[in-house]
Structures are given as C-alpha cells and as structure tokens.
Structure 1
Amino acid sequence: MAWTLPEPMLTKTVRNPVLPPRSAAEPKWDGFRAALSVDDGHVVLRSRRSTQMGPAFPEIVAGGVQLPNATALDGELIVWNTDGRLAFEQLQNRLHRRGATAGRAAAQQPAHFVAFDVLRLAGTDATSWSYERRRAVLEELFRERRLTAPWALCPSTTDPDIVHEWLTSWTAVGLEGVLWAGFCADRLTGRGTARGVGARRTRQ
C-alpha cells in the first residue's frame, strides 16, 4: 500500500501559559503549516488544507535532496524580512507565484521549513510513536544529515524559564506564542492531543 501524508493534528487554545509537568514547549511561528514528503526524488509540499505548494516554493522542493528517501516532515513555512522579523505578508505574496517568478522570489525572499515533527523516516511510519521518540529521531536526522537551509529545526524545551523568554522576548520578531507538545495521559512518552498557548499536537 502506498504511503500518503496524514491529515495534520491541529491546535487548541488554552488560557494558562504555564508549561504543564512532563510536557515540552515549542514556539508557534507566523507562517504556513506544511507537510513535506520525499519519495524516489519526488517531493510533495502540502498545506494543512492539502493545497500543493511546491511550485510556489522551489527552494523547499530543491532542498528535498538533503533528506533520506521515503521521509516526511511536519512543520511551518516561514520567511524572514531584512529586519529579522517573520514576514507573513511576504510569505503570502509568494503563494501564487509559479515558474520564473517563483524562482526569483525564492532568491529574493527565501522561505525556510521549520520542522517540528517527523512523520516517516526512510520508509518507516513514525506517526504512532510517542512525542519523545519522534523528537529524538528528528534531532538525530538534523545531526546525521547536517541539514542546512531551507531546513530549520524547531526548538523544543521542558524549561519554564525558556518558555517565559519565548513569550516575552521572541514576540518582538513575530513569534505568535508557544505550543505544548506531548500533553496527554502519558505526556512526553505517550500519545494524545497537545494543548497550549496556541497549542498543537502529539500524534495519535
């Protein structure tokens, strides 16, 4: 049976900004939620609503050569402006460009794929793994493959002081908030739905 990208796990907002015990936090980026898969040189870049975004972001598609075959990642497409802030408008303006205009935009306003989850690795489906295991595999993927732009590893922390720093300092560059990951019955080692300040996922 052919492997296909799963539907994304979405976020649920909660009001309490305190990191729950045995949970991990990640920044919430001001970008486009995206999933990417690489199979035999064919790269699919898909939005959360299943829109094919590869033609608009050729630098992300080209970056697929850095990933192992039969691998899929969940993440966020972002663009930084010249002032070092997240530029959602520039990202949005790129969405409908194709061909040469998309190539010029990629050179002038390059996008990055901030990976926060691994869905499949070298042919192995990872969606049933715990957040803790998937996070370790994702970090190892970045180390072993020495991934460079357009790939970026989303930070993750269990330190409440770092969460506070993200919420108070990183908002100056356009960060939208913080997400809890692994917030479920067994927290980091279990599976379930994450909740946070913006909140997201663990895989079910």
Structure 2
Amino acid sequence: MAAMKLPVMPPVSPMLAKPVAEMPPDASYEPKWDGFRSILFRDGDDVELGSRNERPMTRYFPELVDAARTELPPRCVIDGEIVIATPEGLDFEALQLRLHPAASRVRLLAGQTPASFIAFDLLALDDCDYTSRPFGERRAALVETLAGSGPTIHVTPATTDIRIARRWFSEFEGAGLDGIIAKPLNLTYQPDKRVMFKVKHQRTADCVVAGYRLHKSGDDAIGSLLLGLYTDGGALASVGVIGAFPMATRRALFTELQPLVTTFDDHPWNWAAQAAADPALARRYGVGSRWNAGKDLSFVPLRPERVVEVRYDHMEGKRFRHTAQFNRWRPDRDPRSCTYAQLEQPLTFRLDDIVPGLGRP
C-alpha cells in the first residue's frame, strides 16, 4: 500500500445512507446488496480492500485481489460490496466465515466459496479525483470504465425510473437483497456522511422467548432475549434476538423472567451439550473462538411460554438477517401458534437475472 499514488488514498470511510419509509423522487435507484461494504484501491499490482471501519480486508479475499489486477483499470478507486453469490441467492453466513485468522483457511475458503465484488461508485480513475463530481457523472464513468469487467467484478444495475425501483424492491428480495438505495443525481461523494437514502422491508412476527443473555453491566439486567419459531415438525428453531431496551426495562425483565428459568435438560437449545457430543457441531459453532460466526452457546434457558411481537426486515435462511426490534408483548398468543407459516415469503428470484453471470454454479 505504501507504493500507491492515487488521487484518493486509503483509508476512506464510505458514504452512508439513512433509512426512509418511502423512495424519494428524482434519484438514481439501485439494489441494496447484503455483504461487506468495501472501497477497492488499485495502483498497478498494489490492491487494497478497505472496509466500512477503514480496516483493510485484503488478506481475507485473495481472489478479489487477483480479479482486480485482471478486470479493473490499472489505477482506480471503486466503492462497492463484497458478496458471496450462489444459485440460491446471497450467502451472508458463508461471507462471515471468510474472516478467518489462519492463512491456510483463507486460501481454502477462497477456492470453496469465492467472493464477487459489486461496484456502485467511482471515486478515482487514473489521476482524476471523481469525488467532487455529481453522482450522475460518476455512475456514467463507472459503467464505461467497467464495461469489460467480469466474471468476478460486476456493476450494480441502476435506474432513474421509480416504478422500476419499486418493482425491484419486491422482486429482488427473493435473491437475498434487502432493499433499495436512492442517490440524488447531483450528490458528490461525501465519506462517512448519511446523504444517500435506503428503503428496507419492515415486517412483524410473533416469536417465542426461549432464553436470555445477561447484560454486560451486571447480573440483574437482560442483555438480549433469544427468539424461536416452531417448525412444521414441531421443533423450536432459533431465529434471532432482540436487545435494544432501556436499562430500567432490562432490570424489570430480569425480575419478570426468573419464574420461567429452567435447566438445559429438556430445553431444545442445549447447544453446548450438542457441540460437546458432536465435533462437527463444535467446529460449526466455533466454541471458544473469537472468530465464531455461529451461535453464542452461553445463555439462560427459559420455559418457552412468553410471546413477543418483533419487527424485522428479512430472513436469511431460517433466521432473521439483522437483530429484530421489540414491538409489543403478546399474552394472547399461544406459543405453539408461533410458526414459520406466519412469515411473508418473498418471491424466488435469481441473482443471474439481476447481474448476468452472478450466482451461476
């Protein structure tokens, strides 16, 4: 990186988006990709992959470094998203597993679950700094610059037709995308500023509270509640957590939930015992590893008798993709009635239909 001499030099904090309920008019609209935000810097053979927190991710994605050297102009800076695309859609869990400390594991995963880079903004090209130019001009230059890229680096689709953007909002979720980003056409590139707009799906679900984790401040407050839904076979599946409570509520919840505290003997989520008995599960859950991308095995089990309504944006597989938000308690609901059947099922949509060549086996 020290040898780089670009008009925009790393580290750079990416430009951000603020949530809105409706798509703003008179903008450029593009899918909101579900991956790792990254600004890619290339100066000849020197390639750097930055992240949202400005820490380099270059070592974790050697296949993207190789692709940048073969598919990009010799000197450029491009804002985009690192994703793992499969025939079934985006796989964020596989992407998380790529952040591994062992170089041998990084090389293995680069071959087994290769990543792609979705480009959506141009910050610099050759000796020209594009950050002060309006987005409409940056977008046109990006499309022209990456016209010959592929099969690893792709340009995100975009439209200025809000009717098309609304159709994308409903259709593309079926491929694992989680909303729409709207960018004013005259917008300059403003690092770390929430000057774009994002529209995400908002839904509710009634979930069973089956456990809690303690708050980091002490033993008399709830840190998060563990949520479950019943499958068609009658098993209680773990779907996510809620944890954004005022401290007074955390303490009150701790007292309220004590009568429901039980043992792991008959609890469906005795993950620690399951992992101890099965080495494959232990590896999956990453017991004792700071790189664990699976479940935290330490929690206080509760009898699954309380129901809470939560807000969520979308699912990834059988779990909430992001932390759900508390809506209200549902004392009127039978916990056994809290099943996956209540969830809205998005249309199935192929990544290849959004970006040709993406997600092909």
Shorter-normalised TM range = 0.7 to 0.9
Q: Is the contact made by 2:90 and 2:177 (CA closer than 8 Å) also made in structure 1?
A: yes
Taking every aligned residue pair, what percent have the same amino acid on both sides?
36
Larger strand share, 1 or 2: 2
Distance 2:173 2:90 in 1: 10
- Identify unmatched segments of 5+ residues in structure 1: 183-187, 199-204
Q: Select between 26-35 and 104-113 the one with higher mean Cα deviation.
A: 104-113
Instruction: Select 1:93's aligned residue among 65, 82, 97.
Output: 97
Alignment partner, residue 178 of structure 2: 176
Flag as ranges the 4+ runs of structure 1 deviating above 6 A. Answer: none
C-alpha separation in 1, matches of 2:29 and 2:118 = 15
Q: Aligned partner of 1:79: which letter?
A: I
2:149 counterpart letter in structure 1: L
**RMSD between aligned residues:** 1.8
* Correspondence for 1:43: 47
Structure 2 residue 106 is matched with structure 1 residue 109: no
**CA distance in 1: counterparts of 2:137 and 2:34, whole angstroms:** 26
Paired position in structure 2 for 1:156:
158
Question: What are the equivalent positions in structure 2 for 1:17-166 lying under 5 Å apart?
Answer: 18-20=23-25, 22-65=26-69, 66-81=71-86, 83-143=87-147, 146-166=148-168
**Native 8 Å contact 1:19 1:25 kept in 2:** no
Moved more, 124-133 or 94-103: 94-103
Question: What is the match of residue 10 of structure 1?
Answer: 16
**Which segment drifts farther, 33-42 or 92-101?**
92-101
Aligned AA (1:38): R
Task: Answer whether contact 1:13 1:196 (CA < 8 A) is retained.
Answer: yes
Distance 1:53 1:190 in 2: 27
- Per-residue displacement from partner, 1:100-144 (whole Å, max 9, x unpaired)? 32222122111011000011101211111100100000000122x
Matched residue of 1:30: which SS? coil
Q: What's the CA shift for 1:80?
A: 1.6
CA separation in 2, counterparts of 1:179 and 1:67?
A: 24
Structure 1: how far apart are the matches of 2:95 and 2:152?
A: 14
Q: Distance in 1 between matches of 2:24 and 2:89?
A: 25
* SS of aligned partner of 1:68: coil
C-alpha contact (below 8 Å) 2:72/2:146 kept by paired residues: no
Shift of 1:19: 4.2
Tell me, which stretches of 5 or more residues in structure 2 are unaligned? 201-361
Displacement of 1:84 in angstroms is 2.3
SS in 2 for 1:167: helix
Corresponding residue of 1:185:
none
Q: Give the deviation of 1:195 after TM superposition.
A: 2.0
Larger radius of gyration: 2
Offset of residue 10 of structure 1: 1.1
Shift of 1:40: 3.0
Structure scoring higher RCO (CA < 8 A, sep ≥ 6) equals 1
TM norm structure 1: 0.85
**Range with bigger deviation, 93-102 or 151-160:** 93-102
CA distance in structure 1 between the aligned counterparts of 2:117 and 2:57, rounded to whole angstroms: 12
SS of structure 2 residue aligned to 1:128: coil
- Who is 2:198 aligned against? 196
